[in-house]
Structure 1
Amino acid sequence: MRHQRINADGSGGNTAGGGMLPEQTAARSQSGLTRDFIARQSPTLSPVAMIADLPGVIYSGNDPLGTNDEQQGLSVRGLDQTEIGYVFENVPAAPPLFLVPYASSTADNENIAGITLAQGAAETSAPLYNAVGGVLSVRMRKPSDIAGGFIGGSWGSYNLNREFLRLETGRIRDTGVKGYASFSYRGADQWRGAGTSRRFHTDMRLTKEWQDNNSASLIFSFNRERGYYLLPPTLAQWQRLGTDANYAETFKNGDSSYYKFQENARAQSFLSAPVSLHLNRQLSLDLTPYFIYVWGYDSYGTSLNRTGSFYGNRPAGTLQVPTSLGRSFTAVATDVFHQSHPGLNTALHYEAGSNRLSLGYWYSYYDFSSVSRYVLPDAQGGVSNQWGAYPILTADSEPLSSYNAHLMQQVNALSLTDRLHLLNKRLTLSAGVRVVMTSRSVTNLLPGARYRNGASYLTPLPQFSASYKLTPHDQLYINGTTGFRAPSGISSYQDRFSMGTGLQTRVASSDTKPEYSIGEEIGYRHNGKVTLSVALFNYNFTNRQVSTTTVLNGVTTTESINGGGQTARGAQFEFGLRPWHGFSPYLSGQYIHATIDNDIQSGADYLPTKGKRPVRTPTLSGSLGLSYDDGQFFGLFNGHYVGPTYATFMNDEKISGFATANLSLGYRLQKTTRLKTPQIQLNLINLGRSGYLSGVSGVTLNRNATRGVFGTTIAGKAPTYFVGGGFAGVVSLSSGF
């Protein structure tokens, strides 16, 4: 049938649920996306945005085009994105300290073969130390055997302009080597407020495969983005201003909220060389060396006092700026960072009969440096000095700074897993243990701060699973897992001071505790014309780490709040059909009941949070979809619902539930001698929406003043929120050649 062919964009129209229900066999909850779904999305969407309809996923978008990795939220079963491991081609691709998956930095959508989300702790062999809530894995497409390529262009709302080109070498003579290289550009205006974001991206892959399933690849990608932050409003700001709650579009002297001051730029180089060798009939070896380098800056508008500022806990004296600026003046706080992350992930497998023994070793080295600088804008609000080359100086001619940090981290992880097939491979038992050793050393050059700090964590992580095939199409499974997450961000290890008073606002801790989880699952799957997956799960956490953002001296930083113990129990399901007369439906949902198990410390007192609901954990969420593909016409509708969500640990502020819907329509033209399945596609995003609160950006302990357990009145603080994007339309033209 025509709709079963492989099109130039990689889709085939034959996956259940419109590409959202590829067959799964792992003894754990696991969902995925194939090219049938990925190719129907706007090419601007990141993988994080694309998994929004999978069970348990709460995606808090901040942009209808899905272009902003810097400002989006993700949670799975109530666990935020710093608790979700991100793996790209078997490489831990999220920054090891901040643990945010900058998924659009690693590959263009046209080069992604598939996406898998495991809801629950990572496998014992995974090169991760934060995956207590799941693992997001992205696979890159393999090079074609035939020379050719793919070209596409997209245009739409907010002056979107995107072009993509991939060139395939095919098999290079008798070498067996094949490869491709691609380049893309994207430019678009902010959907609210002023400013334009731009992205340049390159992907390359070379692969050689030879007898006995041996293979070797060289993968490289480069990504450079530059854009502006959008204001995350409080609930009061949202109710008063709606989508107009944002940074100022025009510059006024003395106003630090000008949008050009809130800029971010990030460039990433990614290199890996995965090798798979079958040494003999029983022994095989997988090696993946990698190197990731990231550099960039974040900037924020702020105000400084010319004669009353502090450098650490030391008076800065009279700052070296023109006296005509007066006592208080506008400045731009710039955070310049460099991250270097080499590593090696290895696994040795020994298979004898029904038994397979795997020994894994992962080594990771991470070097992170970050220094804040303050620079002056010109009279028109222009800033040409975000890199801080000409910073504001103190009276002693030192660059004014609110922090100057350097972190070095080493991770050594050993894993041992034994898998056993019994009853003619109907029963599969697996048991393993992973030991993760993490060591961090931090220095702080700020006057008055503790110079050296750090921490070491040694964590054993046992796991067990069992899977039984009732029939060739039906599977039962159970598992018991453990998970671990080291604290994210650098703030936990640093002394911080107010630039206005010199008073210490945070004391560095040398005993910051990592998060630890114990989880159990039981599930059932049916694969066939009807695909069904149902799972029940239970989690218990100690030292639950919740990521949030705070602002000090004009600079936004990421911190972890220790939420203590937490219990979560729930159920999830997926249902779909293989294409029938071109149609394929999809349905998914999750119910979760989670509670905080203890009172949470605030200063010298405790907030009465025991029994409250955790933040970012709506009780109900779900999705439905319907796809159609007859080989010429194709389309995909998907809708998503998220229930009310608490933003504070005291449950004294929450946002309402919301529903979103997207529609994709397309038509394939007749192929020619030069063009392979040329097509036109229309994506309509956020149908009927003009902006909504899509999730919690900065959580707080309590919104209202609250009486503590010991009688102290604990002041409240307003949470901030992501504003979900308004409506957008994207038209794309593409073709293979």
Structure 2
Amino acid sequence: MGKNNNQAGRLGKLALALATAFAAGQAGAEEAVLDTVTVTANKPEIAPGQPDASTPSTVYQVSQENMRLFDTPGGTNPYTALAEVPGVKVTTADAYGLNNMQGGQKGLRVRGEVSTHGVAGTLEGLSLGGPGPGPGYLFLFDKENIARITFAQGAVSPDRPGLYNVYGAIDSHLLWPRATAQADVSYSAGSNNFRRSFARIDSGLLATGTSFFLSASDTSADKWRGEGDAPSNRRNVELAVQQTAGDLKIKLALAHNEQAQNNYKALTYAQATDLGNYRRYDYGSKSTTSDYYDYNRQDFTNQAALAEISYDFSPTTSLSIKPYYAKEEGYYLYAGTTATQVQKWLIDHTTYGIANELRTTLADTRFKLGYSWTSTEPPGPPTTRKQYSVVVGKLVFQQWALLSKVVDRYEFANTYLTAEHQFGKLQLSGGLRHAYQKLPGIDAYNAGAATAGASWDVSAEEALARAVKNPARSVASRDFASWLPQAGLSYQFNEAVEVHASLGKNIGAPSFDAFNQNLAGSITSSQQYWDQLKPETSTSLDIGARIRFADIYLDPTIYFSRSNNKAVSVFSSATNTVYSQNVGKTQGSGFQLAAGWKPYSSLQLFAALSFSRSTFRENVLTTAGAVLPVDGKQLPDVPKWMGNVGALWQHGGFSVAPVVQYVGPRWSTSNYDQRLDAYSTTDLTVSYGAKAGPGRWQLALAALNLFDRKYIGQVSTSEVNTSASGAIYYPGAPRTLVATLSLSL
């Protein structure tokens, strides 16, 4: 009760502050003498995952209206907005999309490919976090401040670089300050004590050519299984300013996010196949063991600052420069290997860089020349971990489990050139990207017994100053580069039918987890592991069509891909152990369809379907050198069939938006001894809105997993998983009800 009162008090103060700023903005706007501004735009399709017909590549767009109608009500996490896109499987441990999964897998698979080594995607084309286990930018921006999300699959165009893109390229686009003054306030309440407050104020365009917005939100919820919060409070503040001076435009955005939560416990396979008894099984309430729920939690603060300086030299030539900075600080607390051991994974790193792009038109050909540079500081791989013992219900420092210092930051550099030309009905595009990576240099220090005792319970900086360097476990920086070509074409037969194809090469992460692998056999230094690393590369071909007639659209696509140097956990004869190495070879093929029909002006129907064959191209070695016969078999956690069907009915101020999702059966282990059944879920949103004086109000009621289906959603597994007893399964959330009241002025 106290938490809700505090939240209401914060919302009241926030509303008062924004109302004052709104009044000031209105006054400034009224006094300003402005030129008439005319804004025109095509109304976007309501169906989520609408294909982008402006490019020969396979690209989908999710609008802000899509997110309001069909996305999870947590108000953040761009992954969940992609759930209805063909070929995409999104699984979260909670119904609101607010849970940050500990480690590198965050619940996203695309055409069988998993987004590993942390958060994937960009904001305004910028990589606000490098490879790492923290939440990154996933919870940093409220979706009310996101105008749209684009998602490229298959052969990704070189001008959509990011850091890794074998799974695709996600880019969130900010809703920058609006030209007219406006205030938006909303409040949500739902199952498991979910509460969310949001407010945004737009100044409108002032006489100085300046516009800005300020927003804030506060979100909390109880875990739906077990004890604890998820999150206890997610507090977020965002500010964006835009200044126009003739052909020069300057944009600046700042974001601050604090989020703490208790983790969800994974189930074993035996528990996962008995959800009648174990659906709500979680960490315990006894503080005398490491299974205690409050010994399994996380706390993070994320911040970001980004700017865009653009100048139009002519109607066809422009230059943009985007510097950025992001900081992530926090920790994971989790049960160790014994009943009384708890580890604390410390995460404190910064990411910064710059992205430049020159656009011009020569001989009716549109060119883009770009360069981006990103510097990030691990973890990724992990560098510092404390180890505790549970003594009489309290955590007592035992020793440092891992103690390392980054001496050379992890760096990325991308240079690209693209061109696009229209030959009548034929559109040709292509480009080349040069991707450079410099792996970090890391000095390791003796941990374990060498750092045991209360005197070592200090900060990582103090511990490093006292510890003894271990040359055998340290690694020096090394680099590698890849050339990534891409080409696409489309042909418009008539207004109703267009065919398109794209072919290109993508890049994935090296298996840098090997840094923390114990030395064994003929491996006498971590540098030997480091020297084995290679970036994953894949070649993808997409062939599709875009069919438009009357009120129907059909977008079928077939695709093929081959991957080399995939990170898989396989046996090494040099160490007689199994660890992650860049040696996997896989291939994929499939079909996907996005379709929609508008039979009446008040009714829209949409559907997505995908069939995926994502398989190994050769057997691999596992424990003791045994052959794992996976050649030609489907990768773990990759269903062959997925699909969804939905609708939107609108009449007057009413709207009804149901969507049904289906995920086919899949195996969670490469030896095919742990099978998961297919499942389907139904979500429904009903809303009513009307004018209220100069503004508009709306009440929305949402039911997630309407029929309360019991199923396993997320499987936290590697590409090769042979564990017979590992706890890697997370049940999907039960029926969840949410109400949201919003007001725009």
The 1:441–1:19 alpha-carbon spacing in structure 2 relative to 1, beyond 3 Å, is: closer
2:17 is matched with none
Greater RCO (Cα-Cα under 8 Å, separation 6 or more): 1
Shift of 1:617: 1.7
For the 8 Å contact 1:453–1:510, the answer to whether it is kept is: no
For the 8 Å contact 2:359–2:367, the answer to whether it is kept is: yes
Q: Equivalent residue of 1:260, what SS?
A: helix
2:463 is matched with none
Cα distance in 1 for partners of 2:423, 2:120 equals 31
Matched, 1:633 2:642: no
Shift of 1:477: 0.9
1:140 is matched with 174
2:280 is matched with 244
Once the two structures are superposed, the pairs formed by residues 413-424 of structure 1 within 5 Å of their partners are 413-423=414-424
The 1:223–1:661 alpha-carbon spacing in structure 2 relative to 1, beyond 3 Å, is: same
Normalization by structure 2: what TM-score?
0.82
Matched, 1:35 2:70: no
Cα distance in 2 for partners of 1:657, 1:339 equals 40
Which of 154, 157, 160 is residue 123 of structure 1 equivalent to? Answer: 157
2:563 is matched with 541
Q: Considering fraction of residues, name the structure with more strand.
A: 1
Which of 640, 661, 676 is residue 619 of structure 1 equivalent to? Answer: 640
For the 8 Å contact 1:81–1:100, the answer to whether it is kept is: no
Which of 363, 366, 371 is residue 353 of structure 1 equivalent to? Answer: 363
Which of 592, 595, 598 is residue 575 of structure 1 equivalent to? Answer: 595
Cα distance in 1 for partners of 2:519, 2:599 equals 61
Identity within the alignment, %: 23
Deviations 1:450-499 (A, max 9, x none): 222444221000111111222245321111110111225x522234489x
Which of 221, 229, 238 is residue 203 of structure 1 equivalent to? Answer: 238
Cα distance in 2 for partners of 1:109, 1:48 equals 11
Cα distance in 1 for partners of 2:417, 2:526 equals 44
2:510 is matched with 487
Q: Could you tell which deviates more after superposition, 180-189 or 203-212?
A: 203-212
RMSD of Structure 2 on Structure 1 (CA):
2.8
Cα distance in 1 for partners of 2:80, 2:299 equals 21
For the 8 Å contact 1:496–1:507, the answer to whether it is kept is: no
Shift of 1:278: 1.4
For the 8 Å contact 1:90–1:288, the answer to whether it is kept is: no
Shift of 1:371: 1.1
The 1:74–1:259 alpha-carbon spacing in structure 2 relative to 1, beyond 3 Å, is: same
1:431 is matched with 430
Shift of 1:86: 0.5
The 1:269–1:648 alpha-carbon spacing in structure 2 relative to 1, beyond 3 Å, is: same
For the 8 Å contact 1:44–1:67, the answer to whether it is kept is: yes
2:668 is matched with 647
Once the two structures are superposed, the pairs formed by residues 58-73 of structure 1 within 5 Å of their partners are 58-70=89-101, 72-73=106-107
Matched, 1:683 2:698: no
Once the two structures are superposed, the pairs formed by residues 47-196 of structure 1 within 5 Å of their partners are 47-70=78-101, 72-82=106-116, 85-93=120-128, 95-98=129-132, 102-172=136-206, 174-196=207-229
For the 8 Å contact 1:267–1:295, the answer to whether it is kept is: yes
- Structure 2: state its 5+ residue gaps: 1-40, 447-469, 571-578
Q: Could you tell which deviates more after superposition, 105-114 or 176-185?
A: 105-114
Cα distance in 2 for partners of 1:100, 1:522 equals 36
Letter in 2 for 1:457: F
Cα distance in 1 for partners of 2:413, 2:635 equals 32
Once the two structures are superposed, the pairs formed by residues 577-596 of structure 1 within 5 Å of their partners are 577-578=597-598, 580-596=600-616
Letter in 2 for 1:287: I
Cα distance in 1 for partners of 2:57, 2:249 equals 28
The 1:562–1:236 alpha-carbon spacing in structure 2 relative to 1, beyond 3 Å, is: farther
Matched, 1:335 2:349: no
Cα distance in 2 for partners of 1:116, 1:184 equals 24
Matched, 1:695 2:714: yes
Letter in 2 for 1:727: R
Cα distance in 1 for partners of 2:582, 2:671 equals 14
Cα distance in 2 for partners of 1:100, 1:392 equals 23
Which of 284, 291, 303 is residue 257 of structure 1 equivalent to? Answer: 291
Once the two structures are superposed, the pairs formed by residues 389-428 of structure 1 within 5 Å of their partners are 392=397, 399-406=399-406, 408-423=409-424, 426-428=425-427
Letter in 1 for 2:544: G
Which of 498, 513, 517 is residue 475 of structure 1 equivalent to? Answer: 498
Letter in 2 for 1:181: L
1:8 is matched with none
For the 8 Å contact 1:403–1:445, the answer to whether it is kept is: yes
Q: Considering fraction of residues, name the structure with more helix.
A: 2
Matched, 1:450 2:463: no
Deviations 1:10-68 (A, max 9, x none): xx995434454265321111222112221224431522112111100111221012211
Q: Could you tell which deviates more after superposition, 271-280 or 507-516?
A: 507-516
Letter in 1 for 2:325: F
Letter in 2 for 1:692: Y
Shift of 1:135: 1.1
For the 8 Å contact 2:279–2:710, the answer to whether it is kept is: yes
Q: Equivalent residue of 2:53, what SS?
A: coil
Cα distance in 2 for partners of 1:362, 1:505 equals 30
Cα distance in 1 for partners of 2:717, 2:704 equals 26
Letter in 2 for 1:576: G
The 1:628–1:15 alpha-carbon spacing in structure 2 relative to 1, beyond 3 Å, is: farther
Cα distance in 1 for partners of 2:134, 2:430 equals 30
The 1:299–1:17 alpha-carbon spacing in structure 2 relative to 1, beyond 3 Å, is: same
Normalization by structure 1: what TM-score?
0.83
Deviations 1:199-220 (A, max 9, x none): 11112111134555x5321011
The 1:722–1:504 alpha-carbon spacing in structure 2 relative to 1, beyond 3 Å, is: farther
